[in-house]
Amino acid sequence: MSPIHDVLILGSGPAGYTAALYAARANLKPLVLAGIQPGGQLTITTEVENYPGFREAIMGPELMEIMRDQALRFGAEILPLSVERVDFMRHPFTVWADDGQEFRARTVIVATGATAKLLGIPTEHLFMGYGVSACATCDGFFFRNQRVIVVGGGDTAMEEATYLTRFATEVVVVHRRDELRASKIMQERALRNPKIRFVWDHEVIEVLGEPQRKVTGARLRNVITGETSHHAIDGIFVAIGHRPNTRFLEGQLPMDDRGYLKVELGTARTAVPGVFAAGDVADAVDRQPVTAAGTG
């Protein structure tokens, strides 16, 4: 039978590594199952300028390497495994990894994060971090005095578009429909902003530029007529929402209608004593490295 760990951490972004650091310093010998993307979303981010403690920008992958090594230095164990299913109905808790291994623990911290929904077009991955982004708060500063596209029509898109007007000379909102899904107040705020222009009934079908260097344009398609057009642009922000990585927890922990884990207000406690949720997996609002680390 597998040993019983004091603390088992699922996920290895800022929340997971911070939880591992604190647990290790408390001599709890935490085990981290790092997941399919060790380091989380910051590993596909280039320069990070809004994480405290660095005078100059730091590359996302480097920041996550530092967090990982800090946790390891204090005795955390990290395995490159993903979680396939869990049993939180009985104590100690049981977690099964994708390679079939079984882990048991007295305490589990879920820090599997949330994944930005993307467009699903091949070229978007070639430019991710080089002009294509899913986080205006993270990357908006790099587009000062440039033109950018925001894809989406919900609250997230309107928030991103409005935020980007602090830096960009023009923000072009591209939406597949002829009306927005955002709340009324967010719509009005965006529609009143002279820096925001709307392109209705269109979708982005191709990102143009020099792959892994810079974006120079986008090809759009009219979803009604099928006509395509080229738009000179410096950046594309995909703002069609996030998907919390909680599918493997269905039936085990309470979630909201979008799949985010529910926690006790002001804490990381879930409804199951001994199971905690940290970072973006329980945060549908901020989704920032520093807030994720704080809950970790």
Which token pair is 255? 């979630």
- How does residue 44 score in pLDDT terms, banded at 50, 70 and 90? low
Q: How many CB atoms lie within 10 A of CB 56?
A: 6
Cβ-in-10-Å burial (0-12, 13-18, 19+) of 12 comes to buried
Q: Which residue has the higher pLDDT, 41 or 83?
A: 83
Give the chain's mean pLDDT. Answer: 91
Element (H, E) at 137: helix 136-139
Q: Which residues pair with 9 in a beta bridge?
A: 32, 109
Q: Comparing C-alpha atoms, which of 34, 36, 43 is closest to residue 62?
A: 43
* pLDDT for the residue numbered 45: 66
* pLDDT for the residue numbered 46: 65
Is pLDDT above 90 for 43?
no
Is pLDDT above 90 for 134?
no
Is pLDDT above 70 for 1?
no
Report which residue type is found at 11: G
Q: How do residues 275-287 score in pLDDT, each as one tens digit?
A: 999 998 988 777 7
Out of 139, 234, 280, 283, pick the active-site residue: 139
- How does residue 137 score in pLDDT terms, banded at 50, 70 and 90? confident
Active site residue 139: yes
Q: How many whole angstroms separate alpha carbon 77 and alpha carbon 69?
A: 11
Is pLDDT above 80 for 41?
no
Mean of the pLDDT values across residues 94-122? Answer: 92
Which token pair is 129? 């971090």
- In the chain, the DSSP E strands lie at 4-10, 31-33, 47-48, 58-59, 77-79, 83-87, 93-97, 102-110, 114-116, 132-133, 147-151, 170-174, 196-199, 202-210, 214-222, 228-232, 235-238, 242-244, 275-277
Tally the residues of the chain: 296
CA-to-CA separations, 82 to 10, 34, 108, in angstroms, rounded: 8, 7, 14
Lowest mean pLDDT among 40-44, 112-116, 256-260: 40-44
Out of 6, 69, 98, 135, pick the active-site residue: 135
Active site residue 256: no
Instruction: Give, in degrees to the nearest 5, the angle at Cα 182 between 176 and 184.
Output: 130
Out of 69, 87, 99, 138, pick the active-site residue: 138
Mean of the pLDDT values across residues 263-292? Answer: 89
Q: Fill in the DSSP letter of residue 274.
A: T
Q: How do residues 166-199 score in pLDDT, each as one tens digit?
A: 999 999 999 999 999 888 988 999 999 999 999 9
Lowest mean pLDDT among 114-118, 210-214, 252-256, 283-287: 283-287
Mean of the pLDDT values across residues 128-141? Answer: 87
* pLDDT for the residue numbered 109: 97
